[in-house]
Amino acid sequence: MEASGDSAESATEKKEEASGHSPPKATGHAAGPGPQRSPEQEALAARIQEHQQAAARLSHTEEVRNLMQYSTGFGVLSTNSRTLEGYPSGSVVGFSLDDKGRPLFAFSSMSAHTGDLAADSRVSLTVTAATFKGAADGRVSLIGDVNKVPEEDLPSVREMYKKKHPNAYWVDFGDFRLMRMDTIKAMRFVGGFAMAGDVNPEDYLTTAPDAVAEFSAPISKHMNDDHSDTTRAMIAHFITGGVEVTSAQITAVDRLGMYVLVGMPDGQSGKLRLPFPRPAESRKDVKTLIVEMTQAAMAK
């Protein structure tokens, strides 16, 4: 299961993490000493760790691009307060994305954050995964500058905003302004416990969202509601070496595999990566791969 990583990383590893071209080394908070484990539990933990280190997964850059693309379209925007100099001011705001993944906003001239932005364009935007429930789930913080959209871009930006928020009729009101995070200076991704890293904004802006991840929510719901037994069987077959798990709930799906929240016999729980035998090319292909994996897991 995902566990705490090393407390320090080399400069080379940090550079690779920032590039987004290869999955960064896991980092996280150091865990305190736990209860003593039996030899069998130690062997199981070692088997899981070995599997997880080799499991195919998206780079942090791709994870962030997917998180932003398929989010609920709401996040926390922090601006520099005009009324309390030196203090940040946070607001829950709606947003959409343009083709590059830059956040787009529609702000009322009466909102405090609109006034803050008129004085200082520097912001941070924190967005959580659509399925976010707590610290084990993904979130990302973007730091950059938000400015008014140029006149020539207004029609396309309005269309992109309303595509994500179709009921946002107020976008056409005269006192609303369309704004865009034109500059992204830094991005920090946390995918869960011991899964964190910086993402290079330039890499993010040139990365397309994963087409399979678009269907993550319905695939996960269907499997969790109707086929949780087969997910447990796949975990036992492909990861734990036959050791049965008490629960297995899929939390995310992408073209390379799935993340599964697993309950272990000793009462512990954690998120495991269950990779596909090959990359999925479509939602239908995911079904085919899961059937193949289920058949392999159920074979006697």
- pLDDT value at position 270? 87
Task: Enumerate residue ranges in the chain where pLDDT < 70.
Answer: 1-35, 300
**Domain ends where: 178, 205, 232?**
205
- pLDDT value at position 175? 87
Torsion sign, CA atoms 11, 14, 19, 22 = positive
Is the residue at 55 inside a domain?
A: no
Tokens of 70: 């398929």
Give the DSSP letter of residue 90: E
- pLDDT value at position 198? 97
What's the CATH code of the domain at 252?
3.20.180.10
**Domain ends where: 205, 232, 261?**
205
> Model-level pTM?
0.83
Statement to judge: residues 198 and 291 lie in one domain: no
Of 107, 96, 73, 129, the closest CA to residue 261 belongs to 129
Is the residue at 49 inside a domain?
A: no
- Could you give the CA distance from residue 32 to residue 47 in angstroms, rounded to a whole number? 21
Is the residue at 290 inside a domain?
A: yes
Q: What is the signed CA dihedral for 50, 55, 60, 66, rounded to 10 degrees?
A: -150
- Could you give the CA distance from residue 112 to residue 141 in angstroms, rounded to a whole number? 21
The domain in which residue 239 lies consists of 212-298
pLDDT in tens, 110-144: 999 999 999 999 999 999 999 898 888 899 999 99
- pLDDT value at position 33? 56
What's the CATH code of the domain at 187?
2.30.110.10
- pLDDT value at position 300? 59
Q: Average pLDDT over the chain, rounded to whole?
A: 88
Query: How many whole angstroms from its chain centre is CA 112?
Result: 29
- pLDDT value at position 32? 52
